C-alpha cells in the first residue's frame, strides 16, 4: 500500500476517534476501528484491503448481501421520478408495498410506515392503546413482553426490552410495561425439573394477565424467536398457546418480525412456523429492504383499523413520520421482495440452514458448548465453562472465539449488553443469499475457533 494511501487511512482513523460516536462500543483511546470500504455478496473489504465474510448480516439486515444492482437502480429511478412525498398524502411505491405486505402476511392489514424497528414498535404501542380506548376499554394500557427480548432503543421500545444491561442508566422506563420469563428450555426459569418449559412459559402469560386484570392489559409483544437475547427458539406450540391466551382475554398479539421477517427463519415470517397463528399487529424493518435504505412498517389487522374510522376530533391516528415510507425506501423494499420471491430465497434458507449450517450442531459435544439453537439462517451457540454446571463462558473465552474468527476473515456476533453475566451466546446469521461455499466457510471457521480453545 502506498504511503499516501496509508496516510489517508490514518487520517480517517483519527477523524473517527475525534468525531464519530460508535453504536454499542466502549471508547478506547487510540484504537483503530474497522472501516468498511466496499462490499460484494456476503463479503466486505476494509480500508486496509482485508476481506471479511459478514456472518451477522450487518445488524441482522443485509439479507441479500452487497452489490444488488437491481435494488440500487430501483432507488435511483424512484428518486429521479419523485424524490420525496410525505404519507400525509400518498405515492405509488407505498401503495404497492402496503398491498404486498398484506399478501405476504396472508391477511387483511393496513400498514403504517416509519424508519426503523424501534419506531415500528413505538407505532404499534400507540395504535394499541388508542384502539382499546376507542373500543370502550380505556383501562387496557399495559404491555407484556419477555425477559431477554429486545424490541428497540427508543424509550417505549426500550421499556418493552427486558435486557437489564440495555437499560442501565436509562431507567425508569415508561409505565405500563410488564415482563415474563422466556421459553428458554436450556435454562428453564421455572426449574430444571420442568419438562415442558415452553408450556409453562406460555401459561405464565395467562397468569400475569389474570393477576394484573385482563381489563388493564392491552397487548403481548414477542419475537417469534428471541434473537439478540441469545437466539432462544421455542416450539411452534408456544406461540399457538400465547395466541389462544391473547384471544381469551381480548389482548392483542403484536409479533415483532424485525429480525425474523423476510426469510431469515426459512419462512417468510417467523410466526408462520406456528400453524393457525394470525397476529393482530406485525412490526418489521431490517430485512424489509435488506438494509439498502431505512424503512420500518407496522402492519395492523383491518379489524383494528375499523376503530380509527369513527367520527370524532381525536379518533384518527395522530402520528406522523417525516421519512417513514419514503418513496425510494418503498421502491427498494418492493425490489427486495421481488428478488426474494424470484430466487426462492425462503425455501433455500430452509434447506441450506440444515444441510450446511446444520453441521454447526456437531459442536454440541464440545466441552464448552452448552447448546446449539437454530432456525433457518439464525444460529446461537451457547458457550459455557463446563457442561455440568452450565456456568456461562467468560468474556475472555468469548473474545478468543470471536477474535479467532475475525483473524480468519469471518465476523460473528454475541449477545452483548443483554443479561448481566449471561452474554455467552455466539450469534451466526449470514446473508440469506450466501453461497454454499460461504456457508461451508462459516461452519469450518467456527468449528476451528471453538476447537482451538
Whether residue 190 is contained in a domain is answered as: yes
pLDDT for position 3: 62
Q: Which domain covers residue 444, as residue numbers?
A: 34-67+345-452
3-state secondary structure 239-282: HHHHHHHHHHCCCEEEEECCCCCCCCCCCCCHHHHCCCCCCCEE
pLDDT for position 24: 84
231 lies in the same domain as 378: no
Orientation angle between helical segments 69-81 and 327-342, nearest 10 degrees: 150
Average pLDDT, rounded, for the chain: 96
Whether residue 39 is contained in a domain is answered as: yes
Q: Residue 220 and residue 209: Cα distance in Å, rounded?
A: 10
Residue 223 has pLDDT above 60, yes or no: yes
Whether residue 4 is contained in a domain is answered as: no
% residues pLDDT > 70 (the chain): 99
What average pLDDT does the segment 282-291 reach? 98
Last residue within a domain, chosen from 281, 316, 342: 342
Q: Which of 8, 57, 13 is nearest to 34 (CA)?
A: 13
Q: Residue 339 and residue 404: Cα distance in Å, rounded?
A: 34
295 lies in the same domain as 154: yes
- Of the ranges 90-94, 107-111, 120-124, 311-315, which one carries the lowest mean pLDDT score? 311-315
237 lies in the same domain as 350: no
What is the three-class DSSP state of 442?
helix
Instruction: Say how many domains are in the chain.
Output: 2
329 lies in the same domain as 349: no
Helices (H), ranges, 20-163: 57-60, 69-81, 92-105, 117-134, 155-160
pLDDT for position 283: 98
Residue 446 has pLDDT above 90, yes or no: yes
Whether residue 8 is contained in a domain is answered as: no
Domain holding 421: CATH number?
3.90.1150.10
Tens-digit pLDDT profile for residues 322-354: 999 999 999 999 999 999 999 999 999 999 999
334 lies in the same domain as 284: yes
Q: Say which residue the cell 406522523 belongs to.
A: 320
279 lies in the same domain as 217: yes
Residue 40 has what DSSP assignment?
E
Tens-digit pLDDT profile for residues 24-65: 888 787 777 899 999 999 999 999 999 999 999 999 999 999
pTM of structure = 0.96
Q: Residue 30 and residue 13: Cα distance in Å, rounded?
A: 9
Whether residue 7 is contained in a domain is answered as: no
Task: Give Cα separations from 416 to 259, 412, 446 (angstroms).
Answer: 16, 12, 18
189 lies in the same domain as 291: yes
285 lies in the same domain as 406: no
pLDDT for position 2: 61
For residues 121 and 283, the answer to whether their CB atoms sit within 8 Å is yes
204 lies in the same domain as 325: yes
Whether residue 23 is contained in a domain is answered as: no
Residue 84 has pLDDT above 80, yes or no: yes
For residues 180 and 171, the answer to whether their CB atoms sit within 8 Å is no
Q: 41, exposed or middle or buried, with CB in 10 Å at 0-12, 13-18, 19+?
A: middle
Residue 176 has pLDDT above 80, yes or no: yes
Residue 312 has pLDDT above 90, yes or no: no
pLDDT for position 416: 87
Q: Residue 97 and residue 103: Cα distance in Å, rounded?
A: 10
Residue 5 has pLDDT above 70, yes or no: no
Whether residue 115 is contained in a domain is answered as: yes
What average pLDDT does the segment 104-125 reach? 98
Whether residue 15 is contained in a domain is answered as: no
299 lies in the same domain as 373: no
Tens-digit pLDDT profile for residues 349-398: 999 999 999 999 999 999 999 999 999 999 999 999 999 999 999 999 99
Residue 82 has pLDDT above 80, yes or no: yes
% residues pLDDT > 90 (the chain): 91
Residue 406 has pLDDT above 80, yes or no: yes
pLDDT for position 388: 95
Tens-digit pLDDT profile for residues 243-261: 999 999 999 999 999 999 9
244 lies in the same domain as 136: yes
What average pLDDT does the segment 130-158 reach? 97
91 lies in the same domain as 216: yes
Q: Residue 146 and residue 223: Cα distance in Å, rounded?
A: 9
Q: Which of 111, 157, 126, 118 is nearest to 325 (CA)?
A: 111
Q: Which of 247, 272, 274, 251 is nearest to 261 (CA)?
A: 272
Residues 6 or more apart whose CB falls under 8 angstroms from that of 415 comprise 228, 229, 230, 231, 380, 422, 423, 424, 425, 427
pLDDT for position 6: 60
pLDDT for position 1: 52
For residue 176, the tally of other CB atoms under 10 A from its CB is 16
Task: Give Cα separations from 44 to 17, 194, 252 (angstroms).
Answer: 22, 45, 41
pLDDT for position 25: 84
Last residue within a domain, chosen from 323, 342, 361: 342
Domain holding 192: CATH number?
3.40.640.10
pLDDT for position 376: 98
Q: Is the bond into 172 cis (omega within 30 degrees of 0)? A: yes
Last residue within a domain, chosen from 316, 342, 368: 342
Amino acid at each position: 500500500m502506498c504511503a499516501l494511501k496509508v496516510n489517508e487511512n490514518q487520517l480517517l482513523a483519527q477523524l473517527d476517534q475525534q468525531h464519530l460516536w460508535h453504536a454499542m462500543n466502549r471508547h478506547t483511546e487510540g484504537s483503530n476501528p474497522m472501516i468498511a470500504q466496499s462490499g460484494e455478496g456476503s463479503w466486505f473489504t476494509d480500508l486496509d484491503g482485508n476481506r471479511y465474510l459478514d456472518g451477522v448480516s450487518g445488524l441482522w439486515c443485509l439479507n441479500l448481501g452487497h452489490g444488488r444492482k437491481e435494488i440500487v437502480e430501483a432507488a435511483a429511478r424512484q428518486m429521479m421520478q419523485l424524490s420525496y412525498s410525505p404519507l400525509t398524502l400518498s405515492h405509488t411505491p407505498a401503495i404497492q408495498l402496503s398491498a404486498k405486505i398484506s399478501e405476504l402476511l396472508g391477511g387483511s392489514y393496513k400498514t403504517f410506515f416509519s424508519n426503523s424497528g424501534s419506531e415500528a414498535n413505538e407505532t404499534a404501542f400507540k395504535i394499541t392503546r388508542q384502539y382499546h380506548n376507542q373500543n370502550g376499554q380505556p383501562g387496557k394500557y399495559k404491555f407484556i413482553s419477555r425477559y431477554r427480548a429486545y424490541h428497540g432503543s427508543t424509550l417505549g421500545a426500550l421499556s418493552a426490552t427486558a435486557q437489564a444491561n440495555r437499560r442501565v442508566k436509562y431507567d425508569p422506563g415508561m409505565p405500563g410495561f410488564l415482563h415474563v420469563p422466556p421459553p428458554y428450555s436450556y435454562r428453564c426459569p421455572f426449574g430444571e425439573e420442568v419438562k415442558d418449559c415452553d408450556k409453562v412459559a406460555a401459561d405464565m402469560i395467562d397468569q400475569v394477565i389474570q393477576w394484573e386484570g385482563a381489563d388493564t392489559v392491552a397487548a403481548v409483544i414477542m419475537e417469534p424467536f428471541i434473537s439478540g437475547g441469545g437466539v432462544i427458539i421455542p416450539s411452534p406450540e408456544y406461540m399457538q398457546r400465547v395466541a389462544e391466551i391473547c384471544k381469551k382475554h381480548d389482548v392483542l398479539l403484536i409479533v415483532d418480525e424485525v429480525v425474523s421477517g423476510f426469510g431469515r427463519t426459512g419462512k417468510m415470517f417467523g410466526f408462520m412456523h406456528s400453524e393457525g397463528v394470525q397476529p393482530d399487529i406485525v412490526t418489521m424493518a431490517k430485512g424489509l429492504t435488506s438494509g439498502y435504505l431505512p424503512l420500518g412498517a407496522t402492519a395492523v389487522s383491518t379489524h383494528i383499523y375499523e376503530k380509527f374510522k369513527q367520527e370524532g376530533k381525536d379518533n384518527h391516528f395522530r402520528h406522523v413520520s417525516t421519512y417513514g415510507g419514503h418513496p425510494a425506501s418503498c421502491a427498494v423494499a418492493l425490489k427486495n421482495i421481488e428478488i426474494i420471491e424470484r430466487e426462492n430465497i425462503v425455501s433455500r434458507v430452509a434447506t441450506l440452514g440444515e444441510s450446511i449450517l446444520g453441521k454447526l450442531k456437531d459442536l454440541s459435544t464440545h466441552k464448552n458448548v452448552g447448546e446449539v439453537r437454530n432456525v433457518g439462517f439464525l444460529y446461537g451457540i451457547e458457550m459455557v465453562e463446563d457442561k455440568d454446571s452450565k456456568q456461562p463462558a467468560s468474556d475472555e473465552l468469548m473474545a478468543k472465539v470471536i477474535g479467532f474468527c475475525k483473524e480468519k476473515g469471518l465476523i460473528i456476533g454475541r449477545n452483548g449488553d443483554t443479561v448481566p453475566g449471561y452474554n455467552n451466546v455466539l450469534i451466526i446469521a449470514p446473508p440469506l443469499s450466501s453461497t454454499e461455499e460461504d456457508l461451508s466457510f462459516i461452519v469450518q471457521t467456527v468449528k476451528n475457533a471453538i476447537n482451538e480453545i
